[in-house]
C-alpha cells in the first residue's frame, strides 16, 4: 500500500471524521477565557501565616537591579528557545500528518488530535496486515507448463 492510497483511506476512515468533527466544533464555540477565571490571591505567599511570610522575606537576599535584569533576560532567552523548539516540533509533526489541501494551518491542539487519529489508523492498518500474514501468503496460481511437440 503506497502512502497516497493510505492517506486517502485515512480521510475516508472514522478516525478522520472524529478529528474533523472535534476540529470544527472546537472552532465554532465562542468562549471568553476571562469569564471562566477566578480571581487569584495576590498575597506574597498565600497559605502561610503572617509570621511565616515575614521570615521568608527576611531570608531573601536582595539583588541589585542590574543582576535582576540580567537574570530576567537570561530567563526570557531560555523561554524563547524552549518555545521555538516546541514550535519547530509541531511544524515537523504537521508535515507528516495528511491534511486536505484547502485546510488552513492546524492549531497545536488540532495537530495533536489529528496525529492521534492518524496513529490509531496506521496501527489498525498494521494489525490487518499482520492478520493477513498470519493466515499465510496468498496461494500462487498454478504454473502452466507448455509442452511442445516436434512432430510435423
User: Which region, left, alpha or beta, applies to residue 15 given φ > 0 means left and ψ of -120 to 50 means alpha?
Assistant: alpha
CB-CB neighbours of 114 under 10 Å? 24
Across the chain, what does the average pLDDT equal? 75
Domain architecture of the chain: domains with CATH: 3-26+48-134 (4.10.280.10)
H or E segment and range at residue 43: none
Place of cell 487569584: 40
pTM score over 0.75? no
pLDDT of residue 145: 66
pLDDT of residue 42: 46
pLDDT of residue 15: 64
**Distance between CA 11 and CA 16 in Å, rounded?**
5
Contact 8, 118 (CB under 8 A): no
- The rounded percent of the chain whose pLDDT value lies above 90 is 34
**Distance between CA 72 and CA 78 in Å, rounded?**
10
pLDDT of residue 40: 43
Encode pLDDT of 7-63 as tens digits.
777 777 766 666 555 555 555 544 444 344 444 444 455 566 666 666 555 666 778
Amino acid at each position: 500500500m503506497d502512502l497516497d492510497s493510505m492517506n486517502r483511506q485515512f480521510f475516508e476512515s472514522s478516525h478522520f471524521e472524529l478529528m474533523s468533527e472535534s476540529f470544527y466544533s472546537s472552532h465554532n464555540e465562542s468562549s471568553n477565557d476571562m469569564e471562566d477565571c477566578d480571581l487569584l490571591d495576590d498575597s506574597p505567599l498565600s497559605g502561610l501565616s503572617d509570621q511565616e511570610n515575614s521570615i521568608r522575606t527576611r531570608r531573601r537576599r536582595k539583588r541589585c537591579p542590574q543582576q535582576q535584569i540580567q537574570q530576567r533576560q537570561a530567563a526570557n532567552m531560555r523561554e524563547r528557545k524552549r518555545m521555538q523548539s516546541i514550535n519547530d516540533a509541531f511544524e515537523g509533526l504537521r508535515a507528516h500528518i495528511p491534511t486536505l489541501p484547502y485546510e488552513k494551518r492546524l492549531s497545536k491542539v488540532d495537530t495533536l488530535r489529528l496525529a492521534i487519529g492518524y496513529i490509531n489508523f496506521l496501527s489498525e492498518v498494521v494489525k490487518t496486515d499482520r492478520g493477513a500474514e498470519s493466515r499465510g501468503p496468498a496461494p500462487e496460481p498454478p504454473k502452466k507448463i507448455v509442452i511442445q511437440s516436434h512432430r510435423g
